[in-house]
Amino acid sequence: MPPPQSGGTWILDLDGVVWLSDQPIAGSARAVERLRQAGRPVLFATNNADPTIDQLLGRLGRAGIPATVDEIVTSGQASAALLQPGDRALACGGEGLVEALTARGVDVVDRGPADAVVVGMTRAFDYDLLTTAALAVRAGARLIGTNEDPTHPTPAGLFPGSGALIAAVATAAETPAVMAGKPHPPMAALLQARAPVIEWVVGDRPATDGRLARRLGAPFALVLSGVIAADHGPLDVDPDEESPDLGELVSRWIDH
Ligand SMILES: [Mg+2]
C-alpha cells in the first residue's frame, strides 16, 4: 500500500462511518474534531445522492459535526460532472440529485427526449418512472447511475440501494449504465481536485471505498461500523487498516 501521507486529507464515507441511517455512530463527532485539531482536512464523500447539501450539513450538525459546503462531495455532483451546462437530463432520484444537476446548469426534465437519464436513490421509484426512464434511454439518452451500491445499512438491516434501481432501468432499456460515484473516475476526479494529498480513505464498503482508495493511490481504512462485520471473510479490496469504528481509527493514528 502507499504509506499514509501524514497531514493529508482524510476522506470519510458517511453511511456506516459517521452514521447508520439516522443514528450517529458513537465517537464519530469527537473523531472528526480530533482530526481537525490535528490539522487534518476532512472531506465527506457519499454515494447517497438523495439528500441536498443543506440536508447533509443539517444531519452532520445534528451528529455534532459542523461542516461546510466545500467539505461534501456526493455521487450526484459526480453524475452532474458527466454532463454539460444546457444538457437535458431526466432525473430519477431525490432532491439532492436534482440540486446537483441544476447547479451544473443542466436542464432537469421529467419526460424524454433527454441527453441523459440519471438514476440515483429515490423512494419514489415505481413502474411508471421505470417506464419513462427506459423509454428515454431507448430513444438515445445516455444512462448514468449515481452509484451501484446494492444496499445501504440501516438499524433494521440492509435496504435496497440505488444500484438496485439502476439495474432495473438498465435491464428494461437493455443498456448498461455509466457509473459516476465511488469508486468510479468522475467521483475520484472531484475528490482529487479538492484533496491533492490524502492520508486515509475511510469507509465501510471495500467494493466502493476500498476501490476508490486504490484509484486515488491512497491507503484504505475499513471500519466495521457499517456493512462489513468483524468476522468477515475475504474482501473485494484488502484494507490497509481495519478498525471497529472511526473513533478507534483516529485514536490509533492521531495522538494528542
Ligand atoms: Mg458506507
199 and 224 belong to one structural domain: yes
Res. 236: pLDDT tops 80: yes
> Within a domain: residue 94?
yes
Provide the pLDDT for residue 256: 57
Local structure of 27: helix, strand or coil: coil
Secondary structure class of 141 (helix, strand, coil)? coil
pLDDT recorded at residue 112: 78
Annotated catalytic residue 13: yes
How far is Cα 144 from Cα 210, in angstroms, rounded to an integer? 22
Q: Compute the half-sphere exposure of residue 57: CA atoms within 13 Å on the CB side of its CA.
A: 10
- Closest among 95, 16, 20 to 52, alpha carbons compared: 95
Distance 99 CA to ligand 1 centre (A): 22
| In the predicted structure, residue 57 carries a pLDDT above the cut 80 | yes
Q: At 103, which CATH number?
A: 3.40.50.1000
Distance from residue 46's CA to the centre of ligand 1 (Å): 7
Give the per-residue SS3 of 207-234. Answer: HHHHHHHHHHCCCEEEECCCCCCCCCCC
pLDDT of residue 152: 79
**pLDDT score for 151:** 85
In a domain, 2, yes or no: no
**pLDDT tens, 87-141?**
999 999 999 999 999 999 999 998 879 999 999 999 999 999 999 999 999 999 9
Nearby residues of 146 by Cβ (< 8 Å), 6 or more positions away = 47, 49, 75, 76, 78, 79, 93, 97, 118, 119, 120, 121, 162, 166, 179, 180, 181
Domain that holds residue 55: 9-75+183-253
Say if residues 189 and 178 touch (Cβ distance below 8 Å): no
Cell numbers for 39: 490539522
**Domain termination residue (choose one: 162, 179, 196):** 179
* Burial class of residue 123 (count of CB atoms within 10 Å of its CB; 0-12, 13-18, 19+): exposed
Q: How far does the centroid of ligand 1 lie from the alpha carbon of residue 224, in Å? A: 10
What single DSSP character describes residue 206? I
The Å distance, Cα 154 to ligand 1 centre, comes to 11
Of 122, 148, 179, the residue at which a domain comes to its end is 179
Contact 149, 205 (CB under 8 A): yes
Summarize pLDDT for 166-225 with one digit per residue, the tens.
999 999 999 999 999 999 999 999 999 999 999 999 999 999 999 999 999 999 999 999
What torsion, rounded to 10 degrees, do the Cα atoms 20, 23, 26, 27 define? 80
Residue 1 lies in a domain: no
The environment of the single-atom ion ligand 1, i.e. residues with CB closer than 5 A, is 13, 15-16, 204-205, 226
Share of the chain above pLDDT 70, in %: 99
Ligand 1 centre to CA of 16 (Å) is: 5
Q: Decide if 15 is catalytic.
A: yes
Residue 3 pLDDT class (50, 70, 90 cuts): confident
256 burial type by CB count under 10 A (0-12 exposed, 13-18 middle, 19+ buried): exposed
What is the CB neighbour count within 10 angstroms for residue 64? 13
The answer on 131 and 71 residing in a single domain is no
Cross-strand pairs, 78:
none
Whether residue 170 sits in one domain with residue 202: no
Does the residue 3 lie in any domain? Answer: no
Residue 53 three-state SS:
helix
187 with 175, same domain?
Answer: no
Q: Are residues 158 and 215 in the same domain?
A: no
Active-site annotation holder among 13, 87, 240, 245:
13
- Going by DSSP bridges, is the β-strand pair 72-74/42-46 parallel, antiparallel, or unpaired? parallel
- 169 and 99 inside one domain: yes
> Does 80 fall in a domain?
no
Residue 1 has pLDDT above 70, yes or no: no
**Residues 115 and 188 placed together within one structural domain of the fold:** no
